[in-house]
Amino acid sequence: MNGISGEELMDCWEAAGCSHDAAVLARLWASVPPGMRLPALSADTVPDRYRGGFAGDGTSYPAADVSALPWPMRQEVTWCIFRVIELGGRVQMPGTVMLMRRLSEITAGHRAGSPRSLMDLPARTWLQEIPLAVHRRRGRLPAPSSVTQMRQVLLRFLWLLDLAYDTRPWWQRESWHPVEDHRVPVREHEPLGRQAVHFHRIAAPWLRRAAQWHGKVALETGVLRWSTLSQRVFTLTVLDAFLAGRGISEPRLAAGPAEVRQLMLDFMGHVRASRASRGPTEGQRVSAAHAKTVLVHVEQFYLFMHDHKDAAAAATGEPGWRELGAGHAGFYRTRELPRPGRRDPGLDVIDDTAMATIMAGIGQLGENAGDGGLDDPQAMRIMMLQARLGRRISELLMLGTDPLLPLATGPGAGEPGALVARLRYQ
C-alpha cells in the first residue's frame, strides 16, 4: 500500500479516529457522476469512459452489487470505486464482488446497531467479521486467497475514505499522498509524486509533529522538494530511535551546549556503526555516503527548527522548541562528517563498443512483451535522448513537457554547430 504495510495503515487509522460524517459524504456523493450511481457496478453497466477502470483475472465476473448495502455504505462504496478510476487506478473485480456480498451479509436487515458506514467499525474488526460471515453461511472459512483479495479492496477503500473524512489540516496527517490529496504542494510532473511520505514511524509525538510542520513549510517555500522530504523523514526515524534508546523526550535534547554536542557525537558514532537492513549490502555497515546523508539531514532539520523556534512552538504545541540555543544551529564541525570515497570516473564512461551494442538493441526496450520486448517505450526514449545529448538520466527525467527553449538569434546563429535552443527543466 504505497510504502506502508496494512498493519501500519490500520494503526494510523485508529490513531486518527476518523468517523462517518454525513455532510462530507454528501459532498463525495455529489461528485459521483449520475451514470455511476448504479445498484450494480461493472464494466458492462457503467458509462464507456469508466469501463477501462474495472480489472479481472481473465474470468467473467458478475457486477459488484451494492443494492443491499445500507444507504451511507452504498454511497461510500460507489464513491470509492469512482475515485479509484478517477485517480487512474483499476478496481479489482474478483475481490470487490466478494467484498460486496460479505458486507451485504453482515449488514443484512439493517438491524439496530449494525454498521451503516464502512467507518462504523475499525478495519481489523471488518477483517474479522468478513470470514465469520462466510462461516455462518457455509460452515467453513473462505479460502485464504479470497480473504486476501477482499482485504486488499477493503483497505484501498478505507484509505480513500479516511482521507476524505479527515478534517485536520493536511500536514497533520500521518501519511501524505499527493495523488489523492491535492493540497500537498508538489511540483507539476513531480517524478516521485505518486509515492507517499509516512510520518507514523517517528514514534515520539513531539518529533513527529515537528517533522510534519517542517515538511509543510519546506514544501510551501520550496526549501525542500518531495523526494528530499522523503529522505529527511527517514533520517528523523533514525534520530527518533536513537533518542528513545537514550530516554530523551524533549526538543532541546540535553541541558546545555556541551551536553548537546556530546550527544550528537554519540549519534554520529551510532549512525556510522549501524548496518544495512535490506538490499545487496544487508548486514554490512552502512556506507560513508549513507551515514553522511543521515547526519546532514538531522543537522539541517535542527538548524531550521532553531531559526523558526517560536513559530515551531506555536504550530506544534510543544513549547520546548523555544529553548533551542546556538548549540542546536550546527552539530558538527568542518571535516567531522564521514567522507565518502571518490568514485573511479572510469566507471561513469560507456565506451564506444558498449554504446554501439546498447543502441543496436534499444528497440527491444519499447517492443511489446508479446514480441519479446520489455514494453517500456518511455525508457527507450530516455535512453535514446541520453545517447544523443550526453545528459544524465536524472536530468532527462526532469525535462518539462515542452522541453526546448529557443535561444535568441544573433550573429552566427545559422552556422553549423551553433546553439539554437536549450533544454527546459521542471
Q: Is pLDDT of 59 > 60?
A: no
Q: Between residues 103 and 2, which one has the greater pLDDT?
A: 103
Q: Is pLDDT of 420 > 70?
A: yes
Per-residue cell: 381: 526514449
* Residue 53 to residue 76: CA distance in whole angstroms: 17
| Residue whose C-alpha cell is 510504502 | 3
Per-residue cell: 228: 528530499
Per-residue cell: 166: 479527515
Count other C-beta atoms under 10 Å from residue 251's C-beta. 24
| Residue whose C-alpha cell is 526496450 | 365
**Contact of 95 with 149, CB cutoff 8 Å:** yes
What pLDDT does residue 414 have? 61
* Residue 45 to residue 342: CA distance in whole angstroms: 61
Q: Is pLDDT of 343 > 90?
A: no
**pLDDT tens string 204-242:** 999 999 999 999 999 999 999 998 999 999 999 999 999
**Contact of 229 with 197, CB cutoff 8 Å:** yes
Instruction: Name the residue among 398, 19, 424 with its Cα closest to residue 190.
Output: 398
What is the value of pTM for the model shown? 0.76
Residues in the chain: 426
Cα angle 351, 353, 356 (rounded to 5 degrees) comes to: 105
| Residue whose C-alpha cell is 460452515 | 139
Cα angle 220, 156, 1 (rounded to 5 degrees) comes to: 65
Residue 397's pLDDT band, with cuts at 50, 70 and 90, is: confident
Q: Between residues 277 and 254, which one has the greater pLDDT?
A: 254
Helical packing angle, 288-307 and 309-316, nearest 10°:
90
**pLDDT tens string 259-307:** 999 999 999 999 999 998 888 888 889 999 999 999 999 999 999 999 9
Per-residue cell: 344: 573511479
What pLDDT does residue 118 have? 93
**pLDDT tens string 294-341:** 999 999 999 999 999 999 999 999 999 999 999 999 999 888 898 887
Residue 412's pLDDT band, with cuts at 50, 70 and 90, is: low
What does the pLDDT average to over 166-172?
A: 91
3-state secondary structure labels for all residues of the chain: CCCCCHHHHHHHHHHHCCCCCHHHHHHHHHCCCHHHCCCEECCCCCCHHHHHHEECCCCCCCCEECCCCCHHHHHHHHHHHHHHHHCCCCEEHHHHHHHHHHHHHHCHHHCCCCCCCHHHCCHHHHHHHHHHHHHHHHCCCCCHHHHHHHHHHHHHHHHHHHHHHCCCCHHHCCEECCCCCCCCCCCCCCCCCCCCEECCCCCCHHHHHHHHHHHHHHHHHCCCCHHHHHHHHHHHHHHHHHHHHHCCCCCCCCCCHHHHHHHHHHHHHHHHHCECCCCCCCCCECCHHHHHHHHHHHHHHHHHHHHCHHHHHHHHCCHHHHHCCHHHCCCCCCCCCCCCCCCCHHHHCCCHHHHHHHHHCCHHHHCCHHHCCCCCHHHHHHHHHHHHHCCCHHHHCCEEEEEEEECCCCCCCCCCCCCCEEEEEC
What pLDDT does residue 342 have? 75
* Residue 310 to residue 24: CA distance in whole angstroms: 35
Helical packing angle, 22-30 and 144-165, nearest 10°:
100
- Taking all residues of the chain, what is their mean pLDDT, rounded to a whole number? 88
Cα atoms in the 13 Å half-sphere on the side-chain side of 74:
16
Residue 64: strand pairing partners? 41
What pLDDT does residue 60 have? 65
